[in-house]
């Protein structure tokens, strides 16, 4: 036992001296100077090593590679910039080109409160994405008697000067561009045509703009009126869909290529809305997808017919008693038409192809029309409509037209669901139907 204890003590001593035996065969030595600190090479030693031929060549190789890489990236960036398609500059726009204008010819019919009533409805018009108001006549004036025109006074039956100033102030706060009309008559003796001039005042760099209205003029005559009258925006009647589509396509094309887009406004010009001949939504789609400024009258957004009380517009928010099935159906139709209208105004206000885009005619027949609006690298929009009583098959061809397009808005939800993809090869459209399609820029 004493021998065993002595051996254990010897082992402990061996551990203290730095030597031990593991499993009787492996010996581990712990250095006695474990606390000694090691230091790196001195400055002179580093300089001596760095000056050797191998390290000098290595540094030069790395330096050359760095500069070649940097120059290569710079050259690549320049090539990408040069080869990348350049964005087309946005054309200069006046306030009347920025969006749809809302025309209230009879202020008292629009609201029993006159100008105060118009002010109360600004939020409603804001929902319609309206960019400007055309009011009037709100001044006392007689046809062809400019000397009796007084733009300072306001007709008592529509309100006071203070009412007008309050309306303008509130409209400017809501970013409207307000307009006041006086209806001076100019007679075109040869064609018995009428033109109305509007004086508008807004808070923009060009505060005063002159607007005119004509009906039945040819493209040459429209150009003549623009040049001689000095009007900034000339309102022209929307093409009559009762006439052959080929003629309408040519008229629209002539107006566009006559560089009238920024000076031309389209209006319904007394078209009978909601008639069995041409549904109101077809006219709405044509109004908002043509090049130029869309101008619509109060009530057009719900398809208000001639003789109907504008008060219908304000009653749409109140439910109709279910026992009156006819009134309920009519209200639902008005709401559907207004929602269709709001979608169009929203697209017209934000899509560059619909605001500035080139007009390209794709197809026309006696009862149908199709065209595309495209702008630089923006999304393209294709309008197709058939106001006939029979289906039509359209052969749509253009240089960058894809095989499929997305439905953005349609009057035929049963066959052309919104957001669905449709084939453009021998595109079919049912009677009294219209659709707005879109497809991306292909590059």
Give dist(CA 426, CA 228) in Å, integer. 45
The pair of structure tokens assigned to 211 is 């607007």
Give dist(CA 390, CA 402) in Å, integer. 26
Q: pLDDT-based confidence at 258, cuts 50/70/90?
A: low
Q: Is 110 helix (H, G, I), strand (E, B) or coil?
A: helix
At the fourth CATH level, which superfamily is domain 96-352? Glycosidases (3.20.20.80)
pTM for the complete prediction? 0.74
CA distances from 96 to 86, 137, 288, 295, 427 (A): 28, 19, 14, 10, 35
CA distances from 357 to 267, 325, 353, 441 (A): 19, 44, 4, 13
Question: Taking 90 as the threshold, does the pLDDT of residue 362 lie above it?
Answer: yes
Q: Which helix (H) or strand (E) holds 117?
A: helix 115-120
Query: 253 — phi, psi (to 5°)?
Result: -60, -40
Question: What is the average pLDDT across 63-82?
Answer: 90
- Model confidence pLDDT, tens digit, residues 369-404: 999 999 998 999 999 999 888 999 999 988 889 999
- Model confidence pLDDT, tens digit, residues 148-162: 777 778 889 999 989
Question: What is the average pLDDT across 429-434?
Answer: 94
Residues 214 and 193 sit within 8 Å (Cβ to Cβ): yes
208 or 258, which is more confident? Answer: 208
- The whole-number pLDDT of residue 210 equals 80
Q: Return mean pLDDT, the chain.
A: 79
What angle separates helix 245-257 from helix 219-229, to the nearest 10 degrees?
30
- Model confidence pLDDT, tens digit, residues 178-202: 554 433 333 333 333 333 344 344 4
Question: Taking 90 as the threshold, does the pLDDT of residue 289 lie above it?
Answer: yes
Q: How many CB atoms lie within 10 A of CB 116?
A: 16
Query: What sign does the CA torsion over 312, 313, 319, 322 have?
Result: positive
358-439 to CATH, choices 2.60.40.1180, 3.10.100.10, 3.40.50.720, 3.30.2020.30:
2.60.40.1180
Q: Give the residue among 218, 238, 226, 249 at the shortest CA–CA distance from 293.
A: 238
Question: How would you label 76-112 residue by residue, b for 16+ Cβ within 10 Å and e otherwise?
Answer: eeeeeeeeeeeeeeeeeebbbbbbbbbbbeebeebbe
Domain ranges of the chain: 1-33, 43-83, 96-352, 358-439
DSSP state of 151: S
Question: What is the average pLDDT across 404-421?
Answer: 94
**Secondary structure of 57-73 in the HEC alphabet?**
HHHHHHHHHHHHHHHHH
- The whole-number pLDDT of residue 192 equals 30
Strand 233-237 to 101-104 pairing: unpaired
Q: pLDDT-based confidence at 411, cuts 50/70/90?
A: very high
Question: What is the average pLDDT across 339-362?
Answer: 92
Q: Give the residue among 101, 94, 166, 95 at the shortest CA–CA distance from 129.
A: 101
Of the chain, the percentage scoring pLDDT greater than 90 comes to: 27
């Amino acid at each position: 036992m004493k021998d065993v204890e002595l051996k254990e003590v010897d082992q402990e001593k061996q551990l203290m001296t730095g030597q031990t035996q593991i499993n009787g065969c492996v010996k581990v030595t712990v250095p006695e100077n474990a606390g000694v600190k090691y230091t790196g090479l001195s400055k002179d030693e580093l300089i001596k090593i760095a000056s050797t031929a191998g390290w000098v060549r290595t540094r030069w190789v790395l330096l050359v590679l760095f500069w070649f890489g940097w120059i290569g990236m710079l050259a690549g960036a320049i090539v990408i910039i040069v080869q990348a398609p350049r964005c087309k500059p946005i054309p200069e726009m006046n306030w009347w080109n920025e969006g749809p204008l809302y025309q209230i010819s009879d202020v008292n019919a629009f609201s029993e409160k006159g100008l105060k009533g118009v002010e109360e409805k600004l939020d409603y018009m804001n929902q319609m994405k309206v960019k400007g108001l055309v009011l009037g006549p709100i001044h006392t004036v007689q046809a062809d008697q400019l000397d009796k025109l007084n733009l300072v006074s306001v007709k008592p039956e529509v309100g006071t000067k203070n009412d007008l100033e309050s309306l303008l102030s509130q409209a400017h706060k809501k970013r409207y561009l307000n307009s006041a009309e006086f209806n001076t008559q100019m007679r075109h003796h040869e064609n018995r045509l009428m033109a109305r001039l509007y004086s508008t005042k807004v808070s923009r760099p060009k505060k005063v703009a002159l607007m005119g209205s004509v009906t039945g003029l040819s493209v040459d005559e429209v150009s003549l009126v623009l040049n001689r009258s000095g009007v900034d925006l000339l309102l022209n009647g929307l093409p009559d869909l009762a006439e052959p589509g080929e003629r309408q396509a040519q008229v629209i094309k002539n107006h566009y290529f006559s560089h009238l887009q920024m000076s031309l406004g389209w209006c319904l010009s007394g078209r009978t809305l909601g008639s069995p001949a041409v549904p109101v939504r077809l006219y709405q789609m044509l109004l908002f997808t043509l090049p130029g400024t869309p101008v619509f009258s109060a009530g057009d957004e719900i398809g208000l017919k001639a003789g109907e009380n504008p008060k219908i517009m304000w009653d749409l928010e109140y439910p109709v008693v279910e026992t009156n099935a006819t009134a309920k159906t009519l209200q639902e139709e008005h709401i559907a038409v207004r929602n269709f209208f709001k979608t169009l105004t929203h697209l017209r206000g934000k899509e560059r192809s619909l605001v500035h885009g080139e007009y390209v005619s794709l197809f026309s027949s006696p009862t149908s029309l199709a065209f595309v609006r495209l702008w630089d690298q923006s999304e393209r929009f294709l309008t197709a409509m058939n106001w006939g009583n029979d289906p039509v098959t359209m052969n749509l061809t253009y240089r960058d037209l894809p095989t499929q397009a997305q439905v953005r808005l349609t009057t035929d939800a049963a066959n052309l669901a919104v957001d669905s993809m449709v084939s453009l090869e021998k595109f079919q459209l049912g009677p009294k139907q219209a659709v707005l399609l879109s497809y991306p820029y292909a590059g």
